[in-house]
Structure 1
Amino acid sequence: MRNRAATRTALAVAIVGALALAGCGGNGGGRDTGGGWKPDGDVTMVVPFAAGGGSDRAGRALAAAIEAADPDVSVSVENREGGSGAVGYSYFLGRNGDPETLLATETALLALPETGDVQFTFEDFTPIMKIAEDFTLLVVPAAAPYQTCTDVVNAARGQRVVAGISGQTGLDNIVFSLTENKTGAKFDRVAFESGGELIAALLGGQIDIASLNPGEVIGQLESGDLRALCAFAEKRYDYGALKDIPTATEQGIPVSFAQFRGVLAPGGISDEQRTYWIDTMRRALDTDEYRKYVQDSYLQPINAAGPEFVDYLNRNRTVLQEALKQ
């Protein structure tokens, strides 16, 4: 399944550069206040993607929530994009033992080791907290003939249905692959760079369907330019604008897969440092900053701390391997 040779040259220079910048990692930092370890006050939140995207918004929201949970801590956000997240994660790998550097993580943590030439798996890091899950909607133009996701699947069994995707490891391609595996449908994929480009392609008639996060497409759904046929989610959304959209499972398509959002610490930190970050993130989930982020992004606030996050990653990796197998 892995085509390591195809990606080795493209990523090697960027990753080596990132590791060189990382140096040898931190020296533990922080201070002991008598109640356990705490950061010295300055913490870095690494975002392994460019500014302005969903991961960047997550990183900045997490930084604000941590600061609200512990006013003694200041969190700065550092974007290290490249290689579909590989550069940022590889830089973070070089921060081993540094408890004052965190990373805003998502599904690329699992997808990159399956599809790219990277030197890590999630076991090389310290999972702190899964803060939310971001599912997708199957979306079509307003004038499309399809009324349900079942209509789309039935059509894709015998005719050409063009699906826009945002890359092999993207959440949209994963749910299309799972749908093919479960139903026998076959989609003709066309790759784009972003959700914005997918929306433009739908509106322009270049593609028939797309799988998009609610936060990406809510404006077009509310305007009536696009329609959502189903949600690839475990349950229906509670948000007013989305609550009437059935799940794929309700329509006989047993597919649900989320892009998780979460926080990692580097590998090699102490139990005391790990405990501090888990406790801090638990408090962060009770802040107005976190609640606003979840609501504004139409996320499902499904959380998992420490060992539960590890269990989730193991389960999710198995599902992702099924989706990406060839």
Structure 2
Amino acid sequence: MKSSINRIKNSVVSRSSKALPVVLLGIVAVTSCGVPDSTAANPDNYPSKKLQWLVPYGSSSGADLMVRTMVNIINKYGKYPQPMEVDNVEGGSGATGYTKLYQSAGNPYVLSPTVSSTITVPLQADTVWSITDFTPVALMGRDDYVLAVKRDSPYKTLDDFLSAARKSALSVGGTSKVSAAFIFTQELCGAAGCKTNFVPFETSGTLTTGLLSDSLEAIVTNPGEISGQLRSGDIRALVFGGPRRLPQIPDVPTVTEAGYGAVDAYAPRGIVLPPKTDPKVQTYWVDMMKFIAQTPEWKEYLSARFVTSEQAYAADFGTRITELKTTYQTVLTKAGVL
């Protein structure tokens, strides 16, 4: 996976909000290599300007890597006739960048990615925006969660873990109490009747270290964050929160298969436009995302990052966002963290 990620990072030049130079990405026109062309032409001369991919997170973050993958695909197949740049605007767990997107209302030349914090940040902070303010384009995949333990953990199966957690609370780490990881833990334990002490960590790296150093009994994280340890066996996944098993960890059952119902907690890997964007522009980018979803490069990205392939477009994506926001707010309010 590292080689795939490095290839993505090296092939797309970005502009950070902290960097001085601005380098625009050139367009490479090539044939479509057999991938169907579904990108609709726009009757109003769109696009005619440079495009900004506004990423509210740092370089090499999950959102950043997704956007750079999309830019590479668009460039490879010559799908956007103007320059594009990736602009990393960090701060406030995404709040700074999304505020800039919100203030770009009606601007058809700005796109941003979505993740779980796009939903959770406005629930805990006084932001001027909510995820439902933005113009929905596409859900391109979902980053679901796993409950995972160390190689030598006494909990060999999910039943082992839950049986112990019914007797006394076990320490489970995640990357914030106002997060999809916490919601996953709450929903699973609510259905299974178990108890946990949730320990928030600043980053996925320190979270993994906490598990491997025996500071935690389990962690809840995206499998892509621990893919190397899953492959080596240093970390074992006990259960997966997605709608179906991941091919990369085929022996790990879903929460539904384990008998505890569906867990509606995941990071929506999607794309949004600013508020009040022209519907014709929204349609242009919906068609672009449909094209991207068919390419072998996108499928390679999903596999490398352990992201579940799932698509929803325009209003359907908007509905999914609204439902996810409602679930997050309900669970977090019940848990007393909002």
Same fold (TM over 0.5): yes
Kindly provide the CA deviation profile for residues 192-226 of structure 1, in whole angstroms up to 9, marking residues without a partner as x.
12212111111110111001212111211221211
Q: Structure 1: how far apart are the matches of 2:239 and 2:42?
A: 52
Residue 190 (structure 2) pairs with residue 181 (structure 1): yes
Residue 296 (structure 2) pairs with residue 288 (structure 1): yes
**Which of 129, 137, 160 in structure 2 is aligned with 1:128?**
137
Q: Which residue of 2 aligns with 1:244?
A: 251
Equivalent runs, 1:7-156 vs 2, <5 Å:
35-68=43-76, 70-156=79-165
Q: Structure 2: how far apart are the matches of 1:63 and 1:86?
A: 23
Going from structure 1 to structure 2, the CA distance change for 1:169 and 1:66 (only over 3 Å counts) comes to: farther
Q: 1:167–1:173: 8 Å Cα contact kept in structure 2?
A: yes
**Which of 223, 232, 244 in structure 2 is aligned with 1:223?**
232
Displacement of 1:71 in angstroms is 4.1
Q: 1:138–1:211: 8 Å Cα contact kept in structure 2?
A: yes
Query: What is the count of residue pairs matched by the alignment?
Result: 293
Displacement of 1:171 in angstroms is 2.4
Q: Which residue of 2 aligns with 1:264?
A: 272
Q: Structure 2: how far apart are the matches of 1:289 and 1:276?
A: 21
Q: Structure 2: how far apart are the matches of 1:34 and 1:53?
A: 32
Going from structure 1 to structure 2, the CA distance change for 1:161 and 1:191 (only over 3 Å counts) comes to: same
- The one-letter code matched in structure 2 to 1:146 is Y
Q: SS of the counterpart of 1:251?
A: coil
Q: Structure 2: how far apart are the matches of 1:87 and 1:118?
A: 9
Displacement of 1:64 in angstroms is 2.2
Q: RMSD across aligned C-alpha pairs, in angstroms? A: 1.9
Q: What percentage of aligned pairs have identical amino acids?
A: 29
Going from structure 1 to structure 2, the CA distance change for 1:177 and 1:73 (only over 3 Å counts) comes to: farther
Going from structure 1 to structure 2, the CA distance change for 1:94 and 1:180 (only over 3 Å counts) comes to: same
- The one-letter code matched in structure 2 to 1:246 is P
Residue 321 (structure 2) pairs with residue 313 (structure 1): yes
Displacement of 1:322 in angstroms is 2.5
Runs of 4+ in 1 over 6 A off after TM superposition: none
Q: Which residue of 1 aligns with 2:5?
A: none
Q: Which runs of 5+ in 2 are unaligned?
A: 1-16, 18-40
Displacement of 1:260 in angstroms is 1.1
Displacement of 1:271 in angstroms is 1.7
Q: Structure 2: how far apart are the matches of 1:219 and 1:36?
A: 47
**Which of 286, 300, 306 in structure 1 is aligned with 2:308?**
300
Q: 1:127–1:264: 8 Å Cα contact kept in structure 2?
A: yes
Q: Structure 2: how far apart are the matches of 1:219 and 1:185?
A: 29
Q: Structure 2: how far apart are the matches of 1:38 and 1:64?
A: 20
Q: Structure 1: how far apart are the matches of 2:66 and 2:301?
A: 8
- The one-letter code matched in structure 1 to 2:139 is K
Q: Which residue of 1 aligns with 2:220?
A: 211
Q: 1:45–1:78: 8 Å Cα contact kept in structure 2?
A: yes
Displacement of 1:254 in angstroms is 2.2
Q: SS of the counterpart of 2:60?
A: coil
Displacement of 1:160 in angstroms is 3.1
Q: TM-score, normalised by structure 1?
A: 0.84
Kindly provide the CA deviation profile for residues 153-195 of structure 1, in whole angstroms up to 9, marking residues without a partner as x.
2222221311111112332212112223323322112221221
- The one-letter code matched in structure 1 to 2:226 is V
Residue 170 (structure 2) pairs with residue 157 (structure 1): no
Kindly provide the CA deviation profile for residues 228-280 of structure 1, in whole angstroms up to 9, marking residues without a partner as x.
111111111123xx111111222222242221101000111212111111112
Q: SS of the counterpart of 1:262?
A: strand
* Larger deviation, residues 60-69 vs 48-57: 60-69
